[in-house]
Each structure stands twice: as C-alpha cells, then as structure tokens.
Amino acid sequence: MSHVPHPRPCGDFRTSYSADTSLFRTKVEGWTIYLGIFALLFTPLVFDDFYISQMILIGIYAIAALGLNVLVGFTGQISLGHSAFFGFGAFASAWLNNTTGIPVFICIPLAGLMTTAIGMIFGIPAARLKGLYLAIATLASQFILQDFFARADWFSGGAYGSAAEVVNFFGIDLDTDQKYFYLVLFWVVVSFLAVSNLRRSRDGRALVAVRDHYLSAEIMGINLTRYRIMSFGVSSFFAGLGGALYAHYLQYVSVEGFTILLSIQFLAMIIIGGLGSVSGSLLGAIFILLLPQFMEEVASGAAVIFEGIEQSKAYIKEMSVGAVIILFLIFEPEGLIHRWRLIRASWKLYPFSH
Amino acid sequence: MSSVSQLQSPTQDGTILAVNNIEVVFNDVILVLRGLNLTAERGKITALLGANGAGKSTTLKAIAGLLGSEDGEVSRGDIVYNGMNITQMPPEQRVRNGTFLVMEGRGIVHDMTVIENLRLGAFTQPQKNVAEDMEKVFNYFPRLKERTGLAGYLSGGEQQMLAIGRALMARPDLIMMDEPSMGLSPLLVKEVFGIIKRMNEELGISVLLVEQNANMALRAADYGYIMENGKIVLDGTADELMNNEDVKEFYLGGGGNERKSFKNIKSFKRRKRWL
C-alpha cells in the first residue's frame, strides 16, 4: 500500500517492459523460492511433531491471511469478518463430506467455492460503503455468520460442533502431522502462486487501481461495484480454503474457534507482514503465530530471574505480545516485508552504502 | 461571434458531443452548473476556459459520469454523445463507447509500473490491440519507453505524458483533458500541447480541453467556450476569442486599450450570450 521504494539489487537493470512485470524479480529469487519449497518437502523427516504442527498452522493461517491481503492490500477494502469466512469454510467442508460423501480432498476446494459465494453476498454492501462504515458492515457479517454456526444444527452441528473426517488421498490416510504437512504445503504453494499471478493480470491491475485511485479506475472503464465484490469473493475463497484445511487438520470444528479475535489476528498478520505484499502475508502469519510462544519463553525466563512473578506469568506474556505489536507498528509501519527488502538491498550493496 | 441560434442540435453531423442545458447539483443543495450548453466538433479541439470555481471540471465530470461518486447529479438537461443520450449511463459504459477523461492531477496509479498503467488504460480493449497501441504511445512519448520502475517516480511532466498515453490505449474518439498544463514548466506545456495537437491531427481524436492557461489553450484549439459561475458567457472560434477585448483583459493579460483599476472591473462589458 506504500509508495516506498522497492530497492533493486545493484547492477540489475530492467531493459524491457516484460521484465518489469515478471513473477520473480531476479533469477536468484526464483531459484531461492524453488529451492525453499524443495527443502520444505524434507522437513517432516527432520523436525519433530511440535515444529511440524506449528508449520501446518502457519500454512493454514497464511492462506487465510493471503485472502485478506487481496481484499485489504490490493483493493483497499477492509474486513473485520474474515474469521467468519474462515469458519464457514471449515464447517462447509465437514458438512459436504458428512452429507454427500464426496472425498475430503475434493471437499476442501469446494468449501472454498461455497465460501466465495457467501463472501460475495456479504460483499454487496461493500460496493456502497467505504472505510469505517464498511468495517462496521463486515463486523455485522461476522456476527451473523457466528450466530448461524451456533444455531444451524443441520450445517454445523450447533453447540456440539461437527466432526471432520481424516483426509484420504487415494487410499492414504493423512492422519499424522507429517502427512498432512504435504497437503497444506501444496495448497500454500498453489494459493501464493495464484495471488502472485493475479497481481500481474488485468483483473489484478484493476483491483490495485480501485484501491489507489478509484476515480481514475472508473474513467478507465472499470466497474467499481463488480471489482469490489469480486475481491470479497477471492478473499473469501482463500479464507474458506484455509478454514477447510483447519477443520480436517483438527478433525473437529466448533463455533468457539471463529470469533472476532481471530479476525483481528488476521488483520494483524497482514499489517505486520506488509499490506499488499504476497510474501508479507506469510511473514505476518509466522510472526503472529510464533510471537506468543517466543514471549512464553521470555516470560518463563523472567520468572526464573525475578522470583514471585510465577503466578502472573500468563499475564506478562499476553501484555508483551500486545506491546511488541505496538512497537512493531511504530518502528516498522510498512511491515516485515519492507524490512526484508532493506536487508536484502544493503546485503547486495555491501560494503558500499548506496 | 456565435449566439443562441448557432447551438447545434445533437443529431447534426460533425458534432461528437452536445451538452444541452445541464444543471448539476451536489448533495441536493449546491447548484454548480446552471444551464450549461456546449458542443464539441468531431475531429476538432474545443477549449473550455474560465476562472477557478467556474465549473469547468464539474462539466467534464458530468460528461464522464463521475458525479455519482461525489454525491452530485445532473438534475436537468442532457448530454448527447455521438447521437446517444449518455446522461444516465454508468461511467464504464461511456468509456466503452469511446470517451476518455484525462483527470486533473493525472490520476496515474503510483504503485504500478509504467507499462502496468498503460495496460490499465487498455482495460476495455481486447488483448490483441495492446502491443500495437503501446507502440503508438511510445511513438508520441518516446521518453516513456526509457522509464521502467514505478510510475510514482516519474517526474510531473512524464506523469502527464503517461496519463495522456494511457488515454490513447483505450482508443477513444473523444478525449477530455482537465488541465494538462498543471504543474508543468512552460517548455513542457508547449511540448504537451504540441503532442495533443499532433494526436488530434494524426489520429483524428476529438479533444475537449479544460484549461487555466488560456493563451496556450486557444492557440491549440479550434473553438473556445468561456465559463463563469456555471454558465457559458462567451464562445467563438479560437481566433475570435484571442482578439476579443474582454478575453484579452481577463484571461490573456495585457489587453484592453487603457490601463484599468481592478476596482472598476466587475464583469464583462460586452457579454455575448446569456444562457
């Protein structure tokens, strides 16, 4: 969302316009990403269950955060109801599988499509509302959907929640974290690739134009209403996809998981990661998921040094999570991705500063 | 000099745009345009001049259909483009029909590269036209070809060129320009007006030009209108307006036979039309 310079590697000059809109900025960047994905394929063999489960959750939240980033970062809309769509995807996938018996690995993207439809319906007010008013309208969608989950026994199992089957992929039960990791990795790669390409397409340009200059978008023949609703749809698709993966990972879905708190966490992920940045969504999800655990360690360490604060350890942890987020927003308002770009640029230019 | 009788009917050949007696109201209370009439000839440059707050930009927004997003509406009269009544048409439909507005302050998307901005301009065009049109744009603005990177880093003049180039990408029949000279150095203004003139002659695009810089605008234009308080007060061919005593005095500077005190200047001495 910023107009901050994206520092370019030294000596890398673009000589054609197609190079200007390439998927990866440099060949090295492309290879680094391919190698990174390749390396991730082997992580379940190396790390223990705890790390794998954390990585799965990061992947799931990153997909949902990516969806929100399309809405907030690309189109400049806001949503305080993202976790409701995340929840809808979770229930929808479990419901589809339980009632129709469609294999779960097909139910997951189907749940994403169902969420798209719901998201577009709730996105209709977005065509007319802006800023704070839109925030309140999406807040309403959060409560409407939450209430729906709690009451619609046929869909969500009401207060009891509903069971989600283990994913069975052509006879292989993905019942351990190690196996499930590959499914999440697949969807993370697909989602991030899809959104990176969306940004380079005609529709992606239209979304960014709607955000940056809606009047000039209008005079170029872009239908504002259509693109605002479309961006709600795309955002909900990824929320639903993430939710469905979440449901079949835990194998149980209940209403309590999808509150406004989670919506705010999604917003925090993309703001901290970097608005409008595809890779920022992943960085933000990593940050928000790992920060409480890091702070837990810090608080435990503090409890050893300062005796007598053992009881209030939990509070100290929660407060420091809040404090870190505030400090982060003050000192790094452009998000983690901006810091990463600066680090990369200075590394390329070392030992000269400019 | 023209008068009421010379107002063309919308169906008459040679008229690409006719604005008939429109009133524009903002927020249901603020009347900005009070019965404005103007016509633009096909293949000609028409200039619309006037002081700040006369309603020039509002006129263009009414023609482009942008009033809705600013809580304004055309409450009376109609706008006829190419024989079609477009008064209530949604803005994106008007673009598809061949009108294009180059906004005041350029309105380019800073966060996109030059080429992405140009492709954005071709939003309504099929993919196969894009490469050809882009060459056409670079023919008019060779400078843009050298600029890679984000459009936000272009200089003001280059941004204006990008805005005009982006308009060409949509293959319009009528380009409306809101103050293309804003914030540019005199030399660059000359260059930009030269390019507008060339586009008009070579591509046959009709231009409706809104300007503060009356001198430059009248030199480029074929016909001119002068606005005051939401109405046209004077119109005529560019030459007639250039030689008009009032226009010289109020817009071109240095006119009039004797030096006057500003205290005595209240309005035009020789109003030609009251519409």
Residue pLDDT, tens place only, A120-179: 999 888 778 888 899 999 999 999 999 999 988 888 888 888 888 888 778 778 788 888
pLDDT tens for residues B176-202?
999 988 888 889 899 999 999 999 999
Interface membership of B105 toward A (CB under 8 Å) = no
| Residue span of the structural domain in which B275 resides | 1-98+215-258+271-275
Question: CB within 8 A of A166, min separation 6: which ones?
Answer: A104, A173, A174, A175, A248, A251
Search chain B and give the residue with CA nearest A15.
Answer: B148
Measured in angstroms, the CA of B191 and the nearest CA of chain A are apart by: 24
Residue pair B255/B245 in contact by the 8 Å Cβ criterion: yes
Which of B63, B89, B92 to mutate to probe the A interface, most A CBs <10 Å?
B92
Size of interface A-B (CB pairs under 8 A): 90
Residue in B91, B100, B111 closest to A208 by CB: B111
Closest by Cβ to B120, choosing from A6, A218, A220: A220
Look at residue B3 and tell me if it is in a domain.
yes
DSSP state for residue A166 in the 8-state scheme = P
Chain A positions touching B91 (Cβ under 8 A) are: 218-219, 221
Interface check for B91 against chain A (CB to CB < 8 A): the answer is: yes
Whether residue B232 lies inside any domain: the answer is yes
> CA-nearest residue of chain B to A74?
B111
Residue B183 lies in a domain: no
Report if residue B75 sits inside a domain. Answer: yes
SS3 A10: coil
For residue B103, being part of any structural domain is answered with no
Structural domains of chain A in order of their starting residue, each with its CATH number:
39-349 (1.10.3470)
**Chain B residues touching residue A212 (CB < 8 angstroms):** 109-112
From chain A, the residues in CB contact with B176 under 8 A are none
Q: Do A202 and B107 touch (CB under 8 A)?
A: no
Asked if residue B32 belongs to a domain, the reply is yes
Cβ-Cβ contacts under 8 Å, A218 against chain B: 65-66, 69, 91-92
Mean model confidence pLDDT for chain A = 85
B108 touches chain A (CB under 8 A): yes
**A22 vs B: CB within 8 A:** no
How many distinct structural domains can be found in chain B?
1
pLDDT of B60 over the 50 cut = yes
Distance from CA of A215 to the nearest CA of B (A): 7
pLDDT given for residue B8 in this prediction: 44
| pLDDT, tens digit (0-9, with 9 covering 90-100), for A15-26 | 665 666 666 767
% of chain A with per-residue pLDDT over 90 = 38
Which chain B residues contact residue A202 at CB under 8 A? 119, 123
B221 assigned to some structural domain? yes
Look up the CATH number of the domain holding residue B243: 3.40.50.300
Q: What is the ipTM of this complex?
A: 0.77
Q: Which residues pair with A172 in a beta bridge?
A: A169
The predicted model scores a pTM of 0.84
| A214 interaction partners in chain B (CB closer than 8 Å) | 69
Q: Does B107 touch chain A (CB under 8 A)?
A: yes
Distance CA B271, CA A67 (A): 61
The tokens describing B174, both together, are 């009528």
Mutate to test the interface with B, among A220, A225, A337 (most CBs of B within 10 A): A220
Give A124-135 pLDDT, tens digit per residue.
887 788 888 999
Q: Is residue B94 part of a domain?
A: yes
- Token couple for B23: 């009133």
Q: DSSP state, B268?
A: -
pLDDT of amino acid B4 = 41
Contact A212 B111 (CB under 8 A): yes
Does pLDDT of B63 surpass 70? yes
B54, B228 Cβ separation under 8 angstroms: yes
Structure tokens at B17: 């745009």
pLDDT of residue A323: 85
